[in-house]
């Protein structure tokens, strides 16, 4: 089971940034000991509500405070960064974590982010392909040069290398069929926004002479999962934060994608995206999902923008005490 965070801190519920960050880091360290499998982080820039803009420092902090859970940048907006610096930072996080890092990347979709960094959104595909090649070269070659449209590099020598041979696992996310083909060519796996992309991805692997088993994939996970003995009472506390997030993603133009559906903040849509379950409901649904998709990791956010971290902690405590043991026992048998 995987938990994800983006450290958002909207004005309506503003906390001290230091207090919020340290409380979430404490929560992640607790989750590592409690048996959660993975933690992931998302990136955006130039937002007054503080959406996490810098993933590698957070990944390093988590790597130093945990012992077993996997760490995943889901999603790092790779074209917005210099690939050599990301390769170096990822190598150091991989070393600190002793090989627990996955680098999940995508191109993003907000023109404002590209413009503020002196780039064009229309460049993202070309920049992405060059960045992915440079990452691989940094992790696998002692010295290389690169001549591309966006990057011209000479005698790059990147040391130390990551713990994982060949570097951290690379996962490419996005919502177009071109992304699926690019993932087959340059990445180790894909995180699609449209399930139809899987067939394109597998077709491209076959064309490249690297066929892979066409395993079934579950639908997108919920934006939030919250487990409680009092679902309706907790939903009333969570609902304003759910509305905030849906309205913001809608304003960014993210529609018909991932967990967020059509992004209409009706009660039905809010509840479909944000799952507030009793322990028995969660057990029934998660056991059935695990039986159908045995190799997939269920991922969810325990904490929405502005939500009280202690409310999230109570949910995580119930999951750890009453759901994770059942899931692990079922998997063992």
Look at residue 17 and tell me if it is in a domain: no
H-type alpha helices, 153-230: 177-186, 197-207
113, 46 Cβ separation under 8 angstroms: yes
280-301, pLDDT tens digit by residue?
A: 999 999 999 999 998 888 999 9
In terms of residue numbers, what domain contains 61?
Answer: 37-214
Q: State whether 68 and 210 are in the same domain.
A: yes
Q: Residue 284, Cβ neighbours under 10 Å: how many?
A: 12
Structure-block tokens of residue 63:
């790597």
pLDDT computed for residue 24 by the predictor: 98
pLDDT computed for residue 259 by the predictor: 45
Q: State whether 130 and 256 are in the same domain.
A: no
Q: State whether 180 and 233 are in the same domain.
A: no
Look at residue 5 and tell me if it is in a domain: no
Q: For the chain, how far is it from start to end, CA to CA, in angstroms?
A: 18
Look at residue 155 and tell me if it is in a domain: yes
Q: State whether 88 and 141 are in the same domain.
A: yes
Task: List phi, psi (to 5°) of 259.
Answer: -80, -10
138-184, pLDDT tens digit by residue?
A: 999 999 999 999 999 999 999 999 999 999 999 999 999 999 999 99
pLDDT computed for residue 250 by the predictor: 79
In whole angstroms, give the CA distance from residue 247 to residue 55. 24
CATH code (residue 69): 3.20.20.30
21-47, pLDDT tens digit by residue?
A: 999 999 999 999 999 999 999 999 999
The pTM of the full predicted model, rounded to 2 decimals, is 0.94
Q: State whether 108 and 242 are in the same domain.
A: no
Task: Report the share of the chain in percent with pLDDT over 70.
Answer: 96
171-228, pLDDT tens digit by residue?
A: 999 999 999 999 999 999 999 999 999 999 999 999 999 999 998 888 888 999 999 9
DSSP element (H, E) containing 287: helix 279-292
Q: pLDDT at residue 3 above 80? A: yes
Look at residue 118 and tell me if it is in a domain: yes
Residue where a domain terminates, one of 198, 214, 230: 214
Higher-pLDDT residue of 251, 245: 245
Peptide bond connecting 160 to the previous residue in cis, omega within 30 degrees of 0: yes
Q: Given the DSSP bridges, would you call strands 144-147 and 70-72 parallel, antiparallel or unpaired?
A: unpaired
User: Nearest Cα to 40, choosing from 320, 298, 317, 312?
Assistant: 298
Q: What is the count of structural domains for the chain? A: 2
Q: pLDDT at residue 258 above 60? A: no
């Amino acid at each position: 089971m995987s938990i994800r965070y983006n450290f958002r801190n909207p004005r309506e519920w503003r906390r001290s940034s230091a207090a919020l960050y340290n409380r979430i880091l404490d929560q992640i360290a607790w989750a590592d000991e409690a048996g959660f499998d993975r933690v992931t982080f998302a990136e955006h820039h130039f937002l007054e509500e503080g959406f996490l803009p810098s993933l590698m420092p957070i990944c390093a902090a988590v790597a130093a405070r945990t012992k077993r859970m996997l760490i995943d940048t889901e999603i790092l907006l790779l074209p917005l960064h210099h690939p050599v610096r990301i390769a170096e930072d990822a190598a150091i996080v991989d070393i600190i974590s002793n090989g627990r890092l996955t680098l999940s990347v995508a191109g993003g979709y907000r023109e404002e982010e590209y413009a503020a960094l002196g780039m064009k959104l229309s460049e993202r595909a070309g920049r992405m392909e060059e960045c992915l090649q440079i990452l691989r070269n940094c992790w696998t070659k002692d010295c290389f040069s690169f001549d591309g449209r966006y990057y011209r590099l000479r005698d790059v020598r990147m040391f130390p290398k990551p713990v994982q041979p060949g570097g951290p696992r690379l996962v490419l996310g996005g919502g177009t069929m071109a992304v699926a083909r690019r993932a087959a060519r340059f990445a180790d796996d894909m995180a699609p926004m449209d399930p139809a992309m899987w067939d394109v991805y597998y077709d491209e692997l076959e064309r490249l002479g690297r066929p892979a088993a066409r395993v079934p994939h579950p639908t997108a996970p919920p934006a939030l999962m919250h487990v409680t003995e009092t679902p309706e009472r907790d939903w009333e506390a969570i609902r304003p934060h759910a509305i905030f997030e849906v309205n913001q993603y809608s304003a960014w133009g993210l529609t018909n994608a991932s967990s967020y559906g059509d992004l209409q903040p009706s009660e039905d849509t809010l509840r479909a995206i944000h799952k507030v379950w009793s322990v028995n409901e969660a057990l029934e649904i998660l056991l059935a999902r695990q039986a159908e998709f045995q190799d997939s990791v269920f991922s969810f956010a325990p904490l929405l923008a502005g939500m009280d971290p202690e409310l999230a902690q109570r949910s995580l405590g119930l999951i750890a005490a009453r759901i994770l043991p059942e899931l692990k026992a079922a998997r063992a048998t």
